[in-house]
Amino acid sequence: MVRLLRLLPWLLIALLPACNRSAAPVPVEAVPAKPGYFQVDAATAGIITGTIRFSGVKPAAALIDMDQDADCAKLHQNRPVPDEAVAVNRNGTLRNVFVYLKSGLEGKAFAPPAATVTIDQKGCWFAPRVLGLQTGQTLTVTNSDPVTHNIHPLAQVNREWNHSQAPEEAPFTRKFLSAEVMVRVKCNVHRWMRAWIGVLDHPYFAVTGPDGKFELRNVPPGTYTLAAWQEKLGTQEQTLTVTPSGKVTAAFVFQGE
């Protein structure tokens, strides 16, 4: 017993280094970062506006005979319907031109909008003929006609899909996950029906209307390639620079025959 008491101080000294050693750090598993969406500074954002004009002889619109579907023909009082693949406005401008920033936003990610974009099947046509939406944004498909339609986007980058929609059938939704300009849309039931969808990973795009004008707002300062696409006349591009809080005006002229 006496011998054990004499050894006790030495045993305590031997144990001290072990007590002082800290436990080895436990590796922490990396947590994937959330998408870092780019926030535009409203104080320095600019605007791009412009007009799409047509030069030359206005092409005659092809006439579509819808007699293969009596219900479609009745919607147009049994008259041939012009298919305006090149839609020239009265003021000499073009509508249904898709205008967008093709480059200059690399490295910036933008949150998909909460608002939905709708394409309707009405009068045995797709309406609108040309539309744009952002990756991840909801596309709603409706059928306002008394006939069965079919919407078939012929996507090359995104997943191709094909959906028939009967009269009074509830709308359905789809999303495109990758940028793709442009996606051709057809109806497998009515061969004359066609539309085009521009899918971008940013919000800077527009489709010209009856005045042939377009406007891109809230654009960060920078140098960009601005593109204008028309289904028959092709694509034109311009390089432009948006200065802080600046306004840039661009003009495109598409030539006919």
**Strand 46-55, strand 213-219: pairing:** antiparallel
Fold of 42-99+210-257: Immunoglobulin-like (2.60.40)
The domains spanning 42-99+210-257 and 111-201 adopt the same CATH topology: yes
Residue 150 identity: N
For residue 12, what pLDDT is reported?
46
pLDDT classification of 34: cutoffs 50, 70, 90: low
CA dist., res. 68 & res. 207, Å (int): 31
Cα–Cα nearest to 179, from 161, 154, 197, 194 = 197
pLDDT classification of 1: cutoffs 50, 70, 90: very low
**Strand 130-134, strand 172-175: pairing:** unpaired
CA dist., res. 107 & res. 50, Å (int): 26
Residue ranges of the domains in the chain? Answer: 42-99+210-257, 111-201
pLDDT classification of 2: cutoffs 50, 70, 90: very low
Contact criterion met (CB below 8 Å) for 95 and 233: no
The mean pLDDT of 15-30, rounded to a whole number, is 48
- Mean per-residue pLDDT over the chain, rounded: 89
Tokens of 51: 């007009």
Residue 244 identity: P
CATH H superfamily, domain 111-201 = Cupredoxins -  blue copper proteins (2.60.40.420)
